Amino acid sequence: MSRKARKKTVAGASGRGAGGNRGPGISRNAGAGRPRSFSFRRAFNVALLVALLGVSIIAWRNYALRPNGADAAAHAAEVAETGPRPGCVCPADMNLPVFHIDTGGADIHAMPQRRQFQLYDVEYVVWEPSPRYRATVSLYEPGGYGYTCVCGAAPPAFTRQATVHMRGQSTLSFPKKQYTLTFEDDDAVPAPLSILGMPSHHKWILSASFADRSLIRNALAFKMAGQVMDYSPRLAFCELLLTSGGPASFEDGYMGAYLFMEKIERGPDRVDVRKADPDFKDISFIISRDKLKSNDDVLYTDWSRMSEQLIIEGRLQQRSALKSVYPGASTTPEYRNRIIEYINKFEYALGSATFDKPDSGYRKYVDVDSFVQYAILNDIFKNVDGGSASMYFYKDLGGKMKAGPVWDHDLTLGNEIIGNFKAWKSPTGFNMMDAPWFSRMFQDKYFSSRYENTYKKLRKGVWSDESIEAMIDGALADLGPAVDRNTARWYAERSSYGYDYRFDDTDYQNEITELRHFIKERMNWMDRNIRLVHRLRESAA
């Protein structure tokens, strides 16, 4: 079974039993040979001292480790009191960790060319892979005063070598870019490290969230997914400086607020599937359903050859295909065929007349609860890509295929900033009932009933209105004043992408208000209409 990605840390204490050696703190009356008599006054004084010490420790901890979003005026007063540090960049409201990427003279860019790609005898136009760059990456974290300094007087938490490249497809056209970081040693060998309290790995992502002006939709979706699913990528808000040589510069190198997050990879602390081994009778894999890009390892299943899932991306139509994420292109043709064979069996069972039978239908091949949880989350967020793109699935040795992890929730909760999804502004409807695979599953009474019952249970617990509001408040508190810097950096002028992204502080508050309103209305609508998930089954009958 897949282990939970998030592990609890348990702190313990040990001590000697009654028969052990006495410590130096135990004293006896001189010459009497008897323990000192019990004194209520002494006990009271000791208890009072311990209590005062405890309060002092808590006060110091709250001072030194104040939550992100602390009052900027208080920080400014501290800076004024302690005085400036020579050569430091210490904004009084810099509350987030800061990554500095220095390319040593190179200008990072994406490959602007597209090329022809043939899939099922049809020609498509896809992006070329983005070039890789060698860079030095440093991380500066908030210090004792609660804000982050970028200077020699406040050395970075680490400085490492990494390969950096721009990531994304439609997002490559946005002015604010996002990046993949692969940490390596001097010999270009992967060098895993733990960053911002997250488990050690060598591959990470800086997600720009340009299309989501609230900056919190992915954080909220991943947080909610992590409460119910085996794994959801961990993440942390940060800010980014990008330079091509020379010291860190907020004037020339500031790139805005980002989400530093785990990349979907196989591993004990990420997607926990065991290593693929051709000698085993069973298989393990991670696959995705996504838009095509160059060098994709496409899985040519029988049913996918007959379907025409087109993703509308601006003015471009692209095919959505099943692709191998792990083992990926490095696997043998024989092992790839075994993955395809497994998906073929699942899809034939899903399309059969006995699809709803537990022993011969689709349930023989998939973990139903994971698909139910995945569908509910995408329906709650009314995900524009839900079911057709940025969808992941995985299978461990000896297990069934599971849905997840969740990914790419920028265009959700009524956000249709790029102008092509006006219908998604409405908080009504169950979009996953039309998604590949899921549309057939909803015709199964067992699946639709599990969906309804699971949704009702979650609404009474971790996904109540109060819990969701608290998660939104927590994300905003973490971001703090970084929102203003990000808004000033990217939304002051009309974008060259062709849409008007102009945005100010007042607009940001309106964005958050609209987001809160949408998710509340969305949940209320689903509460009232959850029985509609059976409608597809009833219509099919």
Q: Where are the domains of the chain?
A: 86-262, 285-540
Write the CB contacts of 44 (distance below 8 Å, at least 6 apart in sequence): none
Tokens 């040979």 belong to 33
Query: Which residues are paired to 258 by β-bridges?
Result: 238
Exposed e or buried b per residue across 320-354, where buried means at least 16 C-beta atoms within 10 angstroms of its C-beta: bbbbbbbbbeebeeebbebbbebbbebbebbeeee
Tokens describing residue 329 = 């292109």
Query: Which residues are paired to 99 by β-bridges?
Result: 139, 240
Assess contact for 311 and 124: CB atoms under 8 A.
no
pLDDT of 58 reads 33
Tokens describing residue 79 = 């800076």
Cβ count within 10 A of residue 304: 23
What is the DSSP pairing of strand 98-102 with strand 402-403?
A: unpaired
Torsion angle, alpha carbons of 460, 462, 463, 469, to 10: 120
pTM for the model stands at 0.81
Residue 395 dihedral angles phi and psi, to the nearest 5° = -140, 135
Distances (CA, A) of 269 to 129, 199, 257: 28, 7, 26
pLDDT of 296 reads 83
Count how many residues are written for the chain.
Answer: 541
Closest by Cα among 317, 300, 248, 240 to 485: 240
Residue spans of the chain under pLDDT 50: 1-40, 46, 48, 50-72, 75-76, 78-84, 310-318, 541
pLDDT of 525 reads 97
pLDDT of 87 reads 56
pLDDT of 107 reads 87
Assess contact for 406 and 391: CB atoms under 8 A.
no
pLDDT of 130 reads 84
Residue 125 dihedral angles phi and psi, to the nearest 5° = -105, 125
Tokens describing residue 507 = 């607009």
Tokens describing residue 289 = 């359903």
pLDDT of 193 reads 97
pLDDT of 146 reads 73
Burial of 407 (0-12, 13-18, 19+ CB in 10 A): buried
